[in-house]
Structure 1
Amino acid sequence: MPVQFLLNLLIAVLWVFLKDADTFEFPDFVTGFLIGIVIIFFMHRFFGTPFYLIRAFAMVRLLWIFNYELWTSSLLIMKQILLPNTSFEPGVFTYETKLKTDWEITALALLLMLTPGSVVLRISPSGNEFLIHAMDVKETKPLVLKSIQVYESIILEVTRP
């Protein structure tokens, strides 16, 4: 992926130099970059790796989904805190993940810790089981489990070709 991106930048710079302009102009660079994307798309199978923009779009999608989950869970937590009639049932549950590498497991744990209402208390030594604390087990656990499954699929898209 980094090789493809650097090659794309090189194509864009070459495009700017090959233009008849005396100065560097940003629109020429953008045009060269877009031409580089097309060239690399048609040649990416020769690199032996997937096209680099697929992984870049997966990263943007992960960021977008995380922000959506953060907002929805924040609203739920605010509702639980601000409504006086709400009774909390905090609890702990386990979740077995299908992620394997240390980076994937760490990313999932951090995404869960940043989501309000859930905290990862412990990761098993084998790395495949999370011990998660939920602020309200009855109401929060289904949302946390749904979020975990969404995060897992997106993390797999980012990390594995």
Structure 2
Amino acid sequence: MNNPTDGAAPAAKSRLHRLLPHPILTAALTVIWLLLANSVSAGQFLLGLLFGWAIPRFTLRFWPERVQARRPLVLLRFIGVVLYDILVANLAVAWLILRGPQRLRPGFVELPLDLTSDLAISLLANTISLTPGTVSARLSPDRRTLLIHALDLTDSAALIAAIKSRYEAPLKQVFESC
């Protein structure tokens, strides 16, 4: 027997999606605003919430696909790993600079990608560029290889293995169906 309210649920969900298209992004932007403002006052929280709501709401038509984090706990762990790696890489780059530029071994390495989603590839490339000592240089036209420049490249296989296990694998779990 059909429930007369079955059609109401998708309509309500559609209205909610138009009102709050990216709830996780809204929360993240609110937190970022509070960090930038260096205050957790009620006014700053409300302003951060307003920005967190308005930015995704008014840029909705520019998003090619609906972002869906399939495993939010893996995403939180990924963020922790990235923050830790940024801290460690900052110290490593500072040490490299103190040792002198003559000891640097800069180089390029091609990272074969298992990711297919534009969002996941973009997050991977940006994560690599955010980590001091590495920069994403070019994505191949077929989106299967990412060229990375490393400030001090001692072992390209180890760099590829680290990026694939620490960054690419969690992004694949979160943003792509495995």
| TM-score normalised by length of structure 1 | 0.60
Aligned to 1:126: 142
- Give unpaired runs (5+ residues) of structure 1: 7-51
Deviates more, 1:55-64 or 1:121-130: 55-64
Q: Distance in 1 between matches of 2:69 and 2:149?
A: 36
- Determine which structure has more spread, i.e. the larger CA radius of gyration: 1
Letter in 2 for 1:156: K
Aligned to 1:109: 125
Count of residues paired in the alignment: 112
Shift of 1:68: 1.2
Report if aligned partners of 2:117, 2:175 keep a CA contact under 8 Å in 1.
no
Show the 5 A alignment for 1:95-106: 95-106=111-122
Report if aligned partners of 1:70, 1:115 keep a CA contact under 8 Å in 2.
yes
Shift of 1:149: 2.6
Letter in 1 for 2:116: K
Q: Distance in 2 between matches of 1:94 and 1:66?
A: 20
Report if aligned partners of 1:117, 1:140 keep a CA contact under 8 Å in 2.
no
Residue by residue, what CA displacement relative to the aligned partner does 1:84-103 show, whole Å, maximum 9, x if unpaired? 48611111111101111111
Residue by residue, what CA displacement relative to the aligned partner does 1:116-158 show, whole Å, maximum 9, x if unpaired? 1111110001111011111011168734641343111110121
Q: In structure 2, do the counterparts of structure 1 residues 137 and 116 end up closer, same or farther at CA, with 3 Å as the change threshold?
A: same
Q: Distance in 2 between matches of 1:106 and 1:54?
A: 17
- Give unpaired runs (5+ residues) of structure 2: 1-12, 17-67
Report if aligned partners of 2:106, 2:153 keep a CA contact under 8 Å in 1.
yes
Percent identity between the aligned chains? Answer: 28
Q: CA RMSD in A?
A: 2.6
